Structures are given as structure tokens and as C-alpha cells.
Amino acid sequence: MLNVKDDDLERILLANSPRLQAILADAEKRIQTTGGVKHEEMWAMIESAPQEKPKPARAKRKV
């Protein structure tokens, strides 16, 4: 059996995922067709998006 770290395993799975490859191909096609989103426009969208408040950490149960 191979000794593979979690990060490496995730990369291998994603690199070989037909579903992810299809999503990336569609995105690349849209970028080529539309020219993509301009840098300033992207940051404006990010900054105007509602910010989620971080959830408080849960206390660990004592057993």
C-alpha cells in the first residue's frame, strides 16, 4: 500500500475527476468567449457580497 498524505490524495482525486474536469473546461470556454471578469469588477463583487459572521467554536464535551 502507498503512503499518501491527505493533501496529496486530494490532489490526485481532483486531477482525475471527470466532473471537475468538465467544470474547468466549461469555465475556460466561458472565459474565452466573454473575456472573463475584470480584476476591479471581481473585487467589487467580493467586497459587496454579504459577509458571514464566523460561527463560535463549540465546547468539547467532557466524557
In a domain, residue 55? The reply is no
CA separation for the pair 63, 36 (Å, rounded): 53
Residue 58 belongs to some domain of the structure: no
Give the pLDDT of residue 63.
64
Averaged in consecutive runs of 10 residues, what is the pLDDT profile of the chain (63 residues)? 78 93 96 95 93 78 69
Closest CA to 47 of 55, 39, 57: 39
pLDDT of residue 52: 81
Q: Is residue 30 part of a domain?
A: yes
Residue 53, in any domain of the structure: no
Answer whether residue 34 is part of any domain: yes
Cβ-contact 42, 35 below 8 angstroms = no
Within a domain: residue 22?
Answer: yes
The range of the structural domain enclosing residue 41 comes to 6-46
Per the structure, the count of domains in the chain is 1
* CA 17 to each of CA 11, 13, 54: distance values in angstroms, whole numbers, following the listed order: 10, 6, 31
Within a domain: residue 56? no
